[in-house]
Structure formats: C-alpha cells, structure tokens
Chains A and B, each alone.
Chain A
C-alpha cells in the first residue's frame, strides 16, 4: 500500500524553464509534507516543506503547492538550472509523536538540459 506516490519516474526540462514535480498521497492523516533532493552517493537534502494548514510555501526558486482536497502536492522550480538535475522525493508525516516517521514517494529523476 503505497501511501505517497510520484507517478513520473523521470522528467526532462530545458535550462531556464519551469520544472514541475508532482506527488499524490492517500492518507488524509498526513499533515506535513516535505521535498528532498538526492544526488548519487549522497543522502537526501531537505529542500522545502509545507504544513497542511497552508496551500503554498515559497523559498527562492522553489515553491511547493498543496491541494488537500485532491491529496496532491507539487514542487515548482523556476528557473531550472543544471545543478537541479537529481532525484526528487516527496515525503509525508502524520505529525504528533509520529512526526519523524516520514513516508517517501518513489522519487522522480529530474534532468535539466542545457
């Protein structure tokens, strides 16, 4: 039972354009969502997060949108840069004492083409 799904295994975007990565979840108890970026041979790097009481959070080139009714979140990267090429994971948490128990999606490999 995959509670967090990233349906696109890969995405290719031209440098300077917008990258949109999508994530769907099934568990309505999730109340906090995070995006991580992972390079080969490294651990995931925290990018940005959003609480379920918000529908948008922005940090520099990264914006996360949350649509609770659709159980869907997306990460927008504008403008995309070659260094953004990596695997992106979305993760969800139920909060409370289980806040640290992150449930991850399968990841989307983003390739930025010059």
Chain B
C-alpha cells in the first residue's frame, strides 16, 4: 500500500505571496492532519480534516487554511507569507474514528525569502 505523498517537496516563495501544498493520504484513510515543524517550536498541529470537514484546529492565524476533497486528498494554503512561515510542513493520515495512529508523509520544505 502506498504511503502518504506530499507535493511539492521543496518550495521557495517571497514574503507576501501565497502557497498551496498538497497531500494524498494512504488509501482508505479518511483523516488528514497537517503539522508545522520549525527548529524553535518543534512539531505543531495546524488542523485536521475528516470527511471533507475541518474537525480540529490548532493555534495558528487565519492565514493558514485547508480543505479536503471527496477522495480524502487535502490541500493547505498559506496566504500573505511571512519569513516565520519557513518550515517543514508535514501531512499525516489515519483511519480516523477510534484510530489514533497517524502516518506521516515526507513533508514539504517551505522557504520564505
């Protein structure tokens, strides 16, 4: 079974621009979560989508948004990029429901200049 895939793997953007990252979960997984990893803050939860609905949200500004499609694929969008948004963005999928285990993709490395 294929793992979680994320595209693109690397991205360089300029401050003020917006960016869209994509995630394809493991087949059969209905829950997709997004995390941000930075050296200073570690791994922080952004949001989770289940059956096309945002079910959980972390403490990030409204510039960070996401959505999930009927095939469980998910996208996250960051608008008006700031230098501090430079990070590794990780997507994780799980069966949802009673299952806690999440399986991570390789991440998208975003650099904002």
Binding site for B on A (CB under 8 A): 32, 34, 36, 41-46, 49, 89, 91, 93, 95, 97-107
Contacts and interface: CB of A to CB of B under 8 A. Distances in A.
Contacts, number: 63
Interface residues of B, number: 27
A105 B107 CA distance: 18
Nearest to A100: B48
Q: Is the interface of B mostly helix, strand, loop or mixed?
A: strand
7 contacts: A42-B106, A45-B104, A93-B100, A97-B56, A99-B99, A104-B44, A105-B42
Contact of A107 (B42, B44, B58): B42
Contact of B58 (A41, A44, A97, A101): A101
Nearest to B105: A43
B89 to A, nearest CB: 10
Nearest to B58: A101
Given A100-B33, A100-B94, A44 B45 contact: no
B107 A43 contact: yes
Given A32-B100, A100-B55, 20 more contacts: A34-B102, A36-B104, A41-B106, A42-B107, A43-B105, A44-B90, A44-B104, A46-B101, A46-B102, A89-B43, A97-B56, A98-B56, A99-B99, A100-B56, A100-B100, A101-B48, A102-B35, A104-B44, A105-B42, A107-B42
B37 to A, nearest CB: 9
Contacts of B56: 97-98, 100-101
Contacts of A95: 100
A16 B41 CA distance: 33
